[in-house]
Amino acid sequence: MRAYVIGNVAIDETISVSSFPQAGASLLGREQSRDLGGKGANQSVVCGRCGLPTTLIAAVGEGFRSRMIQDQLAREPIESELIRLSGVASDFSIVFTTPDGENAIVTTTEAAESLTLDAVLRTLSKARPGDIAVLQGNLSEAVTRGILKTAREKALVTAFNPSPLRSYFPDLWPDVDLAFLNKGEAQSLTGTDGEAAARKLLAEGVRQVVLTAGGEGATLADRTGFVSVPAFPATVLDTTGAGDTFMAVAIASSALRGCDLDERALRHASAASALTVGRCGTRSAFPTEQELAGILAD
Ligand code: ATP
């Protein structure tokens, strides 16, 4: 089984600030890290470090950031199918972090939104029934819809993380097998939260729903009922990538055991995310292959 993560790749420029900037304000900050990021890259790197065969399909543009992206991806245990675009800058994020570990992120998506369906399908043509297509919200609407439709035709399992939020996401649920949402996403997309939000998504056709709630833990919902797991204790330094770590480890844990998402997969994901929130940066904060092997063996 292989995971095909189709999404964005970016360089995260993380700046620590004492509080988030308000309109019209000039703030002093300190560069904290410059690291590989982007939700697609994050999820693929963590899946690959778990030992699940993983392919990242993403677009890179021109400039020094595209070289950084290629260098950093080359050090990861994944296959990178990078579509090189000319006349477009590689995507990047400005991440503000405050001393309590909260973050606010602005991401450019010019490269991600220029990715064409044809380019994605050239690589996805290698996928076999039962492989997993993992998607987030950074691609164009047409490409996101086209990938989900193709994944259905090819009998792939589809996993979707509706972030960043887009207005068309509620149409997609019938083509989504596994949905991962944080509290804000659940509220925006269903008008409610907790178990009520999960029930709405299950009624729309999602097979398994995972709701994450930061330090309060996470809940899995499917036709057999609800299972909640607590967050693992952590000293929070920077929550960037916590949700991506959680989703990738939950998927890899169940895929490597040949089963659906279950309580054990959520426990593995919680343990891994607690490591991510305790470290600064994005890729450099993710659990290592050795750490993940220990977590997944439990
Ligand atoms: P982000 O956007 O910061 O990557 P998210 O908003 O998508 O994350 P969250 O629900 O904040 O997702 O966090 C995902 C998981 O990370 C949680 O379910 C939990 O397991 C872990 N986590 C997040 N915050 C904490 C914390 N303060 N302590 C321990 N674990 C945490």
- Binding site membership of 250 for ligand 1 (Cβ less than 6 Å): no
Of 46-55, 65-74, 140-149, 235-244, least confident by mean pLDDT is 235-244
Picking from 64, 54, 58, the residue whose alpha carbon sits closest to that of residue 38 is 58
Q: Does any domain span residue 25?
A: no
Residue 77 has pLDDT above 90, yes or no: yes
Say if 24 falls within a structural domain.
no
For residues 246-266, average pLDDT: 98
Any ligand 1 atom below 6 A from CB of 213: yes
Could you give the number of structural domains in the chain? 1
Cα 205 to ligand 1 centroid, rounded to whole Å? 25
Question: For residue 121, what pLDDT is reported?
Answer: 97
Q: Is residue 289 part of a domain?
A: yes
pLDDT of 102: 83
Catalytic one of 244, 260, 262, 298: 244
Ligand 1, atom nearest to 244 Cα: 4
Instruction: Please report which confidence band the pLDDT of residue 240 belongs to, taking 50, 70 and 90 as the band edges.
Output: confident
Residue 78 pLDDT > 90, yes or no? Answer: yes
Q: What is residue 280's predicted lDDT score, i.e. its pLDDT?
A: 86
Q: What is the pLDDT of residue 48?
A: 98
Task: Decide if 78 is inside a domain.
Answer: yes
Q: What is the pLDDT of residue 101?
A: 78
Residue 81 near residue 54, CB atoms below 8 Å: no
**Mean pLDDT value of segment 274-283:** 93
Instruction: Answer yes or no: 193 catalytic.
Output: no
Residue 57 lies inside a defined structural domain of this protein: yes
Question: Ligand 1 centre and the CA of 200: distance in Å?
Answer: 22
Q: Is the CB of 247 under 6 A from ligand 1?
A: no
**C-alpha of residue 46 to centroid of ligand 1, in Å:** 15
Q: What is the CATH number of the domain that holds 243?
A: 3.40.1190.20
Dihedral, 80, 84, 89, 92 alpha carbons, nearest 10: -10
Q: Quote the crossing angle between the two packed helices 39-49 and 64-74, to the nearest 10°.
A: 20
CB distance 47 to ligand 1 below 6 Å: no
In a domain, 244, yes or no: yes
Sheet holding 91-97, edge to edge: 30-37, 10-16, 91-97, 103-107
- With 90 as the cut, is the pLDDT of residue 281 above it? no
Q: What pLDDT is stored for residue 50 in this prediction?
A: 98
Ligand 1 centroid – CA 127 distance (Å): 30
In a domain, 13, yes or no: yes
Q: According to the model, what pLDDT value does residue 100 have? A: 84
Residue among 154, 144, 210 nearest 178 (CA):
210
Residue 264 is predicted with a pLDDT of 98
**Atom number, ligand 1, closest to the C-alpha of residue 233:** 29
Q: Across the chain, what does the average pLDDT equal?
A: 96
For the segment 227-255, the average pLDDT, to the nearest whole number, is: 95
Tens of pLDDT, residue by residue over 111-147, are 999 999 999 999 999 999 999 999 999 999 999 999 9
Tens of pLDDT, residue by residue over 93-109, are: 999 999 887 889 898 99
Residue 266 Cβ contacting ligand 1 at under 6 Å: no
Q: Which atom, in ligand 1's list, is nearest to the CA of 241?
A: 4
Q: Which domain holds residue 131?
A: 3-19+30-297
The H-assigned helical ranges of 98-241 are 110-114, 117-124, 141-153, 183-190, 194-203
CA-nearest residue, atom 23 of ligand 1? 214
Q: What is the pLDDT of residue 141?
A: 97
